[in-house]
Amino acid sequence: MEGPGIRFFAENLQRVIGQRLEAVEGERAGAVEPERFVGRTLAEVVPAGKLLFFRFRSVDDVVIRVHCLMFGDVRINEDRPGKTLTLRLGFERDRVDVYLGAARAATAGEMDDGRVPVTRDMLDPRFRPARGWDAAAKALPDAILGDALLDQDLFPGLGNKIKNEAMFRARVSPLDAVGAIPRASGLRLMREAAAFSRHFLGEYRAGRHIQPSMQLYGRRTCPACGGPVSKQEIGELQRKSHWCPACQPRKA
Contact 131, 124 (CB under 8 A): no
Last residue of a domain, one of 114, 145, 178: 114
| Confidence bin at 252 (pLDDT 50/70/90) | low
For residue 248, tell me if it sits in a domain: no
Number of domains the chain contains: 2
What is the overall mean pLDDT for the chain? 95
Q: Is residue 141 in some structural domain?
A: yes
Contacts of 102 (CB under 8 A, 6+ apart): 28, 66, 67, 69, 72, 86
| Alpha-carbon gap, residue 167 to 92, rounded angstroms | 45
Whether 174 and 225 map to the same domain: the answer is yes
- CA dist., res. 40 & res. 25, Å (int): 16
Give domain status of residue 250, yes or no: no
Q: Return the pLDDT at 213.
A: 94
Which residue segment(s) compose the domain that 71 sits in? 3-114
Is residue 249 domain-resident? Answer: no
**132 lies in the same domain as 22:** no
Residues 124 and 188 in one domain: yes
The pLDDT tens digits of the residues spanning 154-178 come to 999 999 999 999 999 999 999 999 9
Q: What is the CA radius of gyration of the chain?
A: 19
The predicted model scores a pTM of: 0.92
Residues 152 and 137 in one domain: yes
Give the DSSP per-residue string, 47-92: EETTEEEEEETT--SEEEEEE-TTT-EEEES---TTS-EEEEEEES
Which of 92, 114, 136 marks a domain boundary?
Answer: 114
Q: Say if residue 199 is in the same domain as residue 227.
A: yes
User: pLDDT digit string (tens) for 74-132?
Assistant: 999 999 999 999 999 999 999 999 999 999 999 999 999 888 888 889 998 889 999 99
How far apart are the C-alpha atoms of 19 and 147, rounded to whole Å?
Answer: 41
